[in-house]
Structure 1
Amino acid sequence: MSQWTGKLAFENRVLVIATMHRKEEAIAPPLQAELGVQIHVPEHFNSDRFGTFTRDIDRPANQLETARLKLRHALELTGKDLGIASEGSFGPHPVLPMLPLNRELVVLIDQAHHLELVGEATSTDTNYSHATVKTLEDVQAFAKKARFPSHGLVAMPSAEPEDKGLIHKGITSEADLLETVARLLSQFGQAHLETDMRAMVNPTRMQAIAQATQDLLHKLKQTCPNCGYPGFEMSDRKPGLPCSLCGLPTDLTLTAIYHCQNCGYEDTVSHPDGITAADPSQCPFCNP
């Protein structure tokens, strides 16, 4: 069991942020203010080796494990024992598939105290999109929808080009966009456009990373009532919240189990979402 001393466990320690895409702009300020850490962004750190949004390099594992791999590499590179990495994913919303969803994870590892915590943010506020265009008018319509030029774009011959050297990233000026696409149209008769989801050219994504960082800080402040260790967070949910009309159990959460990763202490909390009965519209009996 690790000994924990609260804020002093972080104060004045060097915290490595594993990024090459300026994510420290979203992550560093709240951590410095709340934890008193000294921020270090390693030089020559190549996060692209762990996957790119343009698919020219595949991600080696799932979202969480990739963030861990990225962070462990940064800690090995710097010789430090405290760090943070983030990893984002984009795709259709699981309930409303017509809407794109951004899920951001921010992982903190403190090797000195055997601590790992994960902050998370999900948002439908994203410009994530793509299109195949054949005219410059189509290009301008897509650019407007994608919040260009405040948000960068990527242009390539097709969605899966054989020549990775033809993937043009970080386009943030109209002149560069039109020149690049005109060249692709001349050579291939079409161009595939995507939103550039790298944080330094996507301020909307940067906001989501900041939200995930705040979630991480919230979890750090949730301490175990038994040993005082941070990250006393929900490990499981149990359904059964009764319907307000018929009283039968629903799939909504009735209780939540909180677990300490340090001493193993668990606590069961009733009505963790602050509601004591489910709306009949969510009852399988009243609304089959």
Structure 2
Amino acid sequence: MIEFPYPISFDGRVGVLASMHQKETVMAPILLTEVGLQLQVASLNTDQFGTFTREIDRPGTQLEAARLKAKAAIDLTGHSLALASEGTFSPHPLLPYLACNRELVILIDAEHGLELVGETVSTQTNFRHQLVFDLNTALEFAQKAGFPDHGLVVMSDADRIQSETIVKGIHQEAELIEIVKRTLEQFGQAWLETDMRAMHNPTRMQVIGDATRDLVRKLKQRCPQCRYPGFDVVERQGGLPCEWCGSPTDLTLQAIYGCQYCGFQRSLLYPDGKTAADPAQCALCNP
């Protein structure tokens, strides 16, 4: 049996969070209560890794951007443990008429060579945008977007991003009216979108909390062989039989769990708690 040289504990350790958008308000209580990890916010300008309003492009994929943030927090502070989150918004992969929010929360523990990622995908999002040509349409958009609890962004054009014409974090109706009127007078149109930064979007903040809980789940799952954290699914294999005809479907029949330290793997049948697939998911019964 290969065992990690000493037990890994997060109780009492300090992790630095790469965030300038108050994500610690939802992440810190979860991490402290569940694993005893204390969060400190790193004084890091995370906008350098991309902005939702597109003045700065995100470097690489969603995961790569989150990883860059966490590593930058380690370099800046000298701490060995860092966390960061990164969100994306897009049509749902299975329900394209619905917008979805995919959140990643990454933990990098340089002392133990550990990288874990919590993840969640939610259709609970107010993500939307609209080009308007009059104030009434702008106010209708605001109402549908959950304003004023959720902040708004106003700019002149969605394609030609000019930072001097972008106003973010709008929460007051009088301010919204003033900015929309000014933009309409100057450009004849106004592009409105929801402000997706966590501190201006309580719905997104809840999803970040869910991704943090998924990270905690993985931290608590220890490898049966070496006790290293993060013993989790590395592969899903299809073949769950149809309830009617018994033919294999694309749904998961078994999941393979693996350890990133010692390489130990274990398979689990019916990981989703289903021993048969709905016939609606069968290519033979529902061609």
- For Structure 1 versus Structure 2, the TM-score category normalised by the shorter chain is over 0.9
| Distance in structure 1 (CA, Å) of the matches to 2:49 and 2:55 | 11
Q: Which amino acid aligns with 1:87?
A: E
| Distance in structure 1 (CA, Å) of the matches to 2:36 and 2:231 | 21
| Structure 1 residue 163 displacement after superposition | 2.6
| Distance in structure 2 (CA, Å) of the matches to 1:215 and 1:226 | 22
Paired positions, count: 285
- 1:186 to 2:188 alignment: no
| Distance in structure 1 (CA, Å) of the matches to 2:38 and 2:240 | 45
What are structure 1's unaligned runs of at least 5 residues?
none
CA contact (8 A) 1:3 1:113 kept: no
Question: What pairs with 1:194-273 in structure 2 (closer than 5 Å)?
Answer: 194-273=193-272
CA contact (8 A) 1:21 1:198 kept: yes
What are structure 2's unaligned runs of at least 5 residues?
none
Question: What pairs with 1:129-148 in structure 2 (closer than 5 Å)?
Answer: 129-148=128-147
Structure 1 residues 4 and 217: alpha-carbon distance in aligned structure 2, compared to 1, 3 A threshold? farther
CA deviation profile, 1:182-217 (whole Å, cap 9, x unmatched): 000000111000000000000000000000000111
| Distance in structure 1 (CA, Å) of the matches to 2:251 and 2:38 | 42
CA contact (8 A) 2:31 2:38 kept: no
Normalising to structure 2: TM-score of the pair? Answer: 0.97
Q: Counterpart in 1 of 2:280?
A: 281
Structure 1 residues 4 and 216: alpha-carbon distance in aligned structure 2, compared to 1, 3 A threshold? farther
Q: Counterpart in 1 of 2:5?
A: 3
- 1:21 to 2:21 alignment: yes
CA deviation profile, 1:30-87 (whole Å, cap 9, x unmatched): 11112222321122x1000000000000001100010000110011000001011000
CA contact (8 A) 1:4 1:229 kept: no
CA deviation profile, 1:139-173 (whole Å, cap 9, x unmatched): 11000000000000000001023532111111111
Which one is further off, 189-198 or 10-19? 10-19
Secondary structure of residue in 2 paired with 1:68: helix
| Distance in structure 2 (CA, Å) of the matches to 1:279 and 1:170 | 45
| Distance in structure 1 (CA, Å) of the matches to 2:147 and 2:190 | 17
CA contact (8 A) 2:4 2:226 kept: no
Secondary structure of residue in 2 paired with 1:241: coil
Normalising to structure 1: TM-score of the pair? Answer: 0.97
Secondary structure of residue in 2 paired with 1:117: strand
- 1:67 to 2:69 alignment: no
Which one is further off, 104-113 or 243-252? 243-252
CA contact (8 A) 1:63 1:88 kept: yes
CA contact (8 A) 1:170 1:201 kept: yes
CA contact (8 A) 1:100 1:128 kept: yes
Q: Which amino acid aligns with 1:253?
A: T
| Distance in structure 1 (CA, Å) of the matches to 2:5 and 2:133 | 62
Identity of aligned residues (%): 58
| Distance in structure 2 (CA, Å) of the matches to 1:31 and 1:10 | 9
Secondary structure of residue in 2 paired with 1:284: coil
CA contact (8 A) 1:2 1:113 kept: no
Q: Which amino acid aligns with 2:160?
A: P
Q: Which amino acid aligns with 1:284?
A: A
CA contact (8 A) 1:86 1:105 kept: yes
Q: Counterpart in 2 of 1:102?
A: 101
Secondary structure of residue in 1 paired with 2:226: coil
CA contact (8 A) 1:83 1:110 kept: yes
| Distance in structure 2 (CA, Å) of the matches to 1:13 and 1:249 | 47
CA contact (8 A) 2:54 2:161 kept: no
